[in-house]
Amino acid sequence: MNVYKTLALGAGLAGLLLSTAYADGLQGKVVGFSQIGSESGWRAAETSVTKSVAADLGIDLKFADAQQKQENQIKAIRGFIAQGVDAILVAPVVATGWEEVLTEAKEANIPVILLDRGIEGPEDLYLTSVASDQVKEGRVAGEWLVGTVGDKQCNVVELQGTVGSSPAINRKKGFEEGIAGHANLSIIRSQTGDFTRSKGKEVMEGFLKAEDGGKNICAVYAHNDDMAVGAIQAIKDAGLKPGSDILVVSIDAVPDIFAAMVAGEANATVELTPNMAGPAFQALDAYLNGGTAPEKFIITESKLYTPADDPQGEYDRRKGLGY
Ligand code: AHR
């Protein structure tokens, strides 16, 4: 099995660092990586996995942390272009505003690969996009809630991701699709928690206060696990039991959400693999060394986990992978 196949195993995080045969097609290549920041456990894992995979492949990875600011990402991309890197990876913080800088990369003949978030703009500005089906993630979360509450009346509060980011837009849409046609389920409040634990907690505190101390809330849907973990704390501080008084469903499958499941405080999560780099480097290798254009969209898996799926084992399997 080659390194890319090992890395492409969706949920196969355990195999991530265990590959034996290494491809050398990207040995010595210089790749710039404009990362959003470190807003969540998932983001930290993606950074750590990307650095580890690049090191295994002999890539000289130039890493730039944008601290959540698009202007920093644009500056970093321009810096990579000036350095004449062989390729650029970018995890775009928001979906719009990329045309100018990506056109500059294209004119410099530097292939760009989008990681984990999409952009609005011409598809010829990037070689490929490696990301999950974010609408599906939201839909899976919504369908899980429909199946769990049955006919019961259920008021849902929603913690959205970063305003203008593709996962916030798509996960909202997908969840609404998932609960569509079920009049007993309605989203009564929805606000951004910016994908962070602290804002997730703060916004949930506001929801609880506004909804009779939480008595009027049946479930919280968070666009990522970190916000869910923040919400869990807020629910406990309000004297209620997360996981039973208020159901908790979110996305990412980070170790902390499995720890919350073990404690009975979280009910479901949809996995987002932090290994976007494996498929991205595989596509880049084929392109640079064989001239093969990859699929425009490389879609990673979205698997639902609940307390029935060995949360302690999932926690153990993930901890130590950079989350
Ligand atoms: O783009 C992926 C999302 O970004 C993750 O779900 C979230 O945790 C991160 O901040």
User: CB–CB of 249/141 below 8 Å?
Assistant: yes
User: CB–CB of 297/123 below 8 Å?
Assistant: no
Residue 227 has pLDDT above 60, yes or no: yes
User: CB–CB of 246/212 below 8 Å?
Assistant: no
Nearest partner of 72 among 113, 35, 126, judged by Cα? 35
**Best mutation site among 34, 40, 94, 276 for ligand 1 pocket (most ligand atoms within 8 Å of CB):** 40
Residue 297 to residue 173: CA distance in whole angstroms: 19
CB atoms under 10 Å from CB of 320, counted, come to 10
Residue 188 to residue 211: CA distance in whole angstroms: 9
Angle at 279 between CA 277 and CA 165, to 5 degrees: 60
Ligand 1 atom at minimal distance to the Cα of residue 91: 1
Residue 310 half-sphere exposure toward CB, CA atoms < 13 A: 5
Residue 108 to residue 280: CA distance in whole angstroms: 20
Say what the pTM is: 0.94
**Best mutation site among 35, 38, 42, 170 for ligand 1 pocket (most ligand atoms within 8 Å of CB):** 42
Is any ligand 1 atom within 6 A of the Cβ of residue 252? Answer: yes
Residue 48 to residue 323: CA distance in whole angstroms: 8
pLDDT of res. 2: 46
Give the distance (Å) from ligand 1 centre to CA of residue 318. Answer: 16
Residue 46 to residue 115: CA distance in whole angstroms: 10
pLDDT of res. 321: 87
Measured in whole angstroms, how far is the alpha carbon of residue 129 from the centre of its chain? 14
Instruction: Find the mean pLDDT for residues 138-164.
Output: 98
Model confidence over 175-209: pLDDT tens digits? 999 999 999 999 999 999 999 999 999 999 999 99
Residue 81 to residue 198: CA distance in whole angstroms: 35
Is any ligand 1 atom within 6 A of the Cβ of residue 46? Answer: no
Is any ligand 1 atom within 6 A of the Cβ of residue 42? Answer: yes
Residue 312 to residue 263: CA distance in whole angstroms: 10
Instruction: Find the mean pLDDT for residues 92-121.
Output: 98
pLDDT of res. 14: 38
Q: Ligand 1, atom 4: nearest CA belongs to which residue?
A: 43
pLDDT of res. 4: 53
Measured in whole angstroms, how far is the alpha carbon of residue 88 from the centre of its chain? 19
Ligand 1 atom at minimal distance to the Cα of residue 226: 8
Ligand 1 atom at minimal distance to the Cα of residue 165: 1
CA distances from 215 to 66, 113, 210, 218 (A): 40, 46, 10, 8
Ligand 1 atom at minimal distance to the Cα of residue 41: 8
In the predicted model, what is the mean pLDDT of the chain? 94
CA distances from 323 to 39, 42, 175, 253, 315 (A): 11, 6, 25, 10, 11
Give the distance (Å) from ligand 1 centre to CA of residue 43. Answer: 6
User: Which stretches does DSSP call E strand in 30-180?
Assistant: 30-35, 60-65, 87-90, 112-115, 128-132, 154-160
Is any ligand 1 atom within 6 A of the Cβ of residue 171? Answer: no
Residue 240 to residue 231: CA distance in whole angstroms: 11
Give the distance (Å) from ligand 1 centre to CA of residue 224. Answer: 6
User: CB–CB of 152/218 below 8 Å?
Assistant: yes
Is residue 28 classed as helix, strand or coil in its secondary structure? coil
Is any ligand 1 atom within 6 A of the Cβ of residue 115? Answer: no
**Percent of the chain topping pLDDT 90:** 92
pLDDT of res. 15: 43
pLDDT of res. 280: 98
